[in-house]
Structure 1
């Protein structure tokens, strides 16, 4: 029995899933700012702009985008405190609201979604690479070969560690910004030559209630777009630099707030504008197609290179890193994070997400419905029930506090199913509906029933010194080889 328990605990204590200590945190404000610039510039974002200007003019699309981005940026910052405070990744903290076994199901849902985005972004990048090579050598036309090479390069970059992800973002961000400005100017100049006005045009303008609906769809499409990262931002935020003994939430989460509330909204809004302009020029939200109609030669090659860099910088931070952490958690300690990175690549390719690009906005709303329910549960569990205190040691114990019913917290699943179904029924508003409904159901059932049946130490004894992390100067240290664990308070 002792051997079995040790093996079970070892499964929960994969080295890549252990809490990140103060001295291991390498990402600062400018680092995350640059990562957001890279993450928010991607071709899939352009589709929202193209869809928006089919019904309403660009100023309204821009306003809706800013509202949606700021709203989801606030949410990302709120959830990110889990990583900042305790150094925990998304799949590890999910053991609290879903159980040490139950965590795998919602985590896999998130990992598959991230893998979907990896495959789609890599496809976009590969078509741009193919076009660049074709510009130089007209006889070359093989996007699949470009896809495989591009995918492998991204996976190797990510498998090298989070610091290499940040370094690439630092290099790529300024290049991306400059080339994005060139793309926008190229497209708008072409529109002006045709006598058009990018700020006043709408393909089939609507008014009244239809205009309000179109406006709201843009808001929630943007929110749904980042619902994936909103769930598992702790996987990245655990690497954020933060001051010890800082009880002010805003100061502690400064890195996340600046990136998520400034870099992301501004960058994504600009990408929405490019997508709208591309649609006006070529009738397609894909700027690769639009640029091929408005630019040529080395100018076209440079602009297509920007598209490659954007897909790369987005994939590494927003998709591969979170999904790899989840697959490492699900597959056990023998699957290192580096191996899990390549699992992401395989899954994202097998799914063939490029086949659903034409219905991308609808897909975003569906993803938002499923994942927003998980997000609501996370926020309620961490802030409203545990009040940021977490019995971290027990998250790594097979027969500990978070075993619940055979390793499953059934309240988490009840809330997820109810919240997800209701959100799907109200698809246009899926993110907010799923978040509120799932969170409310979880709060009522956990507080008034389930946590009375399965007492939670940090709720029964709300002691900051025992259950807070960096706020009280603590690094959580989990012994890997035995069933024991310990905590270390850093002075």
Structure 2
């Protein structure tokens, strides 16, 4: 087999077998507790209480979390059913070469978030060391903290789950303590966190403010909604289970139960932080509201939270994507360090105020990909996938020189719509991207490039765990190599 033929078959990107699925229901829920503690969530809470009471901010945040959690679970079935990662399945709607363009956009976005969260965690570490030892060098803290996260992620999904098991209870306990500390600080200033609003709005303005919170939450997690298969392929699921809810139970418990509870509480902390000191950044607020060993303990939570978020939500997806682009020469662990380098060279400490708004815009634009994935997987292919051809450079997903033009046109249309309607970017991008892809693929592109699973919708051929199948690409390849010489020999004899 030529190097070109091996390009799509990096060992780290082959389908995960049923035995290789290591994350339990509880494990995935615990991972979400860590992933939910992000700077953007604090910012959403802080912005929300400038216009609405805390109670309405909580409702809006929870609605947004439930909604995006459902989208995450729906797309996550690609990993549950077939054991496929995000960049590998993207070969279906974008082509074996085309997959690299939207995938790299997502990979760089994840890398930049890694840099931002590492900077956030590094400032907390620096604060701890300053209180304990009068040490003050945030950049050294950044480098050490980044290396620790990269090594943890490079060790694989089980090491990530083990860290989440350690970090989650610490995050929960200290988060409650942070809320108590900051709400106490607010009361000292005569501000009841459940009543105080900086600039109250009513009527249409209040409705708009409510939905901005909802779609801000959805827009932020749009990136993970797209590449959740890179994580969900490791989640345990029952074989031969045709009921979608039962098959995706573990994914639902994590994304629709654990995530909304944890994420909404983090939004609350950002809101209370703003009420207490007019700054949604809890590190700033804590340094004003607490001191000594109490401050150290509270900052420990910030460190663990950024660590948990980065390794699962940013480094795993980015590393998988970079490994897909590089082929067999770029193993998963190398992709991890590439993501770390990319997230550092942008210098998030200098571009902080610009980078977060930019990444939220990019997240909205990527929402079109969620719509395209949904349409391709559920509506057109009806969950059936010709998985072997995803790893074949000459297979059905090669399309036009490796590009699915329908996917790119749909992404551009959905991305433009999401950009110009930024406050509602997720739902706009999803509908426009998914709708235009359906029309273009069904009535144009797939008439030119026939898709086996659409032409012959056979469950036994094209479903995975539902029919008890493990997609073994290497085994199929070996059989093919054995059969071909036998055919040649027979032809010679004839």
- Match for 2:223 among 200, 225, 228? 228
Note closer, same or farther for the CA distance 1:212–1:75 as it changes in structure 2 (3 Å cut).
same
Is residue 40–residue 220 contact of structure 2 (8 Å, CA) maintained in 1? no
2:68 paired with 1:85: no
2:28 paired with 1:32: yes
Q: State the alpha-carbon separation in 2 of the partners of residues 420 and 237 from structure 1.
A: 25
Is residue 389–residue 468 contact of structure 1 (8 Å, CA) maintained in 2? yes
Moved more, 51-60 or 304-313: 51-60
Cα offset, 1:211, TM superposition:
1.6
Note closer, same or farther for the CA distance 1:236–1:326 as it changes in structure 2 (3 Å cut).
same
Q: State the alpha-carbon separation in 1 of the partners of residues 418 and 147 from structure 2.
A: 36
Matches within 5 A, 1:144-159: 144-159=139-154
Cα offset, 1:369, TM superposition:
2.2
Matches within 5 A, 1:358-437: 358=353, 362-363=357-358, 365-437=360-432
Which secondary structure state, in structure 1, belongs to the residue aligned with residue 471 of structure 2?
strand
Q: State the alpha-carbon separation in 1 of the partners of residues 66 and 166 from structure 2.
A: 26
Which secondary structure state, in structure 2, belongs to the residue aligned with residue 67 of structure 1?
helix
Which secondary structure state, in structure 2, belongs to the residue aligned with residue 22 of structure 1?
coil
Q: State the alpha-carbon separation in 1 of the partners of residues 463 and 279 from structure 2.
A: 50
2:99 paired with 1:109: no
Note closer, same or farther for the CA distance 1:485–1:72 as it changes in structure 2 (3 Å cut).
farther
Is residue 477–residue 485 contact of structure 1 (8 Å, CA) maintained in 2? no
Structure 2 match to 1:197: 192
Instruction: Compute the TM-score of the two structures, normalised by the length of structure 2.
Output: 0.95
Q: State the alpha-carbon separation in 2 of the partners of residues 437 and 147 from structure 1.
A: 40
Is residue 364–residue 415 contact of structure 2 (8 Å, CA) maintained in 1? yes
- Match for 1:441 among 429, 436, 439? 436
2:70 paired with 1:54: no
Matches within 5 A, 1:277-356: 277-356=272-351
Note closer, same or farther for the CA distance 1:343–1:116 as it changes in structure 2 (3 Å cut).
same
- Match for 2:172 among 157, 170, 177? 177
Cα offset, 1:483, TM superposition:
8.2
Q: State the alpha-carbon separation in 1 of the partners of residues 129 and 145 from structure 2.
A: 13
Is residue 109–residue 359 contact of structure 2 (8 Å, CA) maintained in 1? no
Describe the superposition over 1:435-460 as per-residue Cα deviations: whole angstroms up to 9, x where unpaired. Answer: 00010000001001110100000000
Which secondary structure state, in structure 1, belongs to the residue aligned with residue 163 of structure 2?
helix
Is residue 90–residue 232 contact of structure 1 (8 Å, CA) maintained in 2? yes
Matched positions, count: 481
Q: State the alpha-carbon separation in 2 of the partners of residues 354 and 446 from structure 1.
A: 43
Q: Which runs of 4+ in 1 moved over 3 A?
A: 353-365, 480-486
Matches within 5 A, 1:131-280: 131-138=127-134, 140-280=135-275
Describe the superposition over 1:142-164 as per-residue Cα deviations: whole angstroms up to 9, x where unpaired. Answer: 11110000000000000001000
Which secondary structure state, in structure 1, belongs to the residue aligned with residue 7 of structure 2?
helix
Is residue 31–residue 308 contact of structure 2 (8 Å, CA) maintained in 1? yes
2:2 paired with 1:17: no
Cα offset, 1:353, TM superposition:
3.2
Describe the superposition over 1:268-323 as per-residue Cα deviations: whole angstroms up to 9, x where unpaired. Answer: 11001110111112211111111011111111001001100000000000000011
Q: State the alpha-carbon separation in 1 of the partners of residues 435 and 339 from structure 2.
A: 33
Instruction: Compute the TM-score of the two structures, normalised by the length of structure 1.
Output: 0.96
Cα offset, 1:29, TM superposition:
0.5
Is residue 44–residue 121 contact of structure 1 (8 Å, CA) maintained in 2? no
Q: State the alpha-carbon separation in 1 of the partners of residues 302 and 128 from structure 2.
A: 11
Is residue 115–residue 345 contact of structure 1 (8 Å, CA) maintained in 2? yes
Cα offset, 1:56, TM superposition:
1.2
Structure 1 match to 2:37: 41
Is residue 171–residue 304 contact of structure 2 (8 Å, CA) maintained in 1? yes
Q: State the alpha-carbon separation in 1 of the partners of residues 429 and 40 from structure 2.
A: 23
Which secondary structure state, in structure 1, belongs to the residue aligned with residue 470 of structure 2?
strand
Is residue 42–residue 307 contact of structure 1 (8 Å, CA) maintained in 2? no
Structure 1 match to 2:484: none
Query: Which ranges of structure 2 fall in alignment gaps of 5 or more residues?
Result: 482-494
Query: Which ranges of structure 1 fall in alignment gaps of 5 or more residues?
Result: 487-491
Structure 2 match to 1:489: none
Which secondary structure state, in structure 2, belongs to the residue aligned with residue 479 of structure 1?
helix
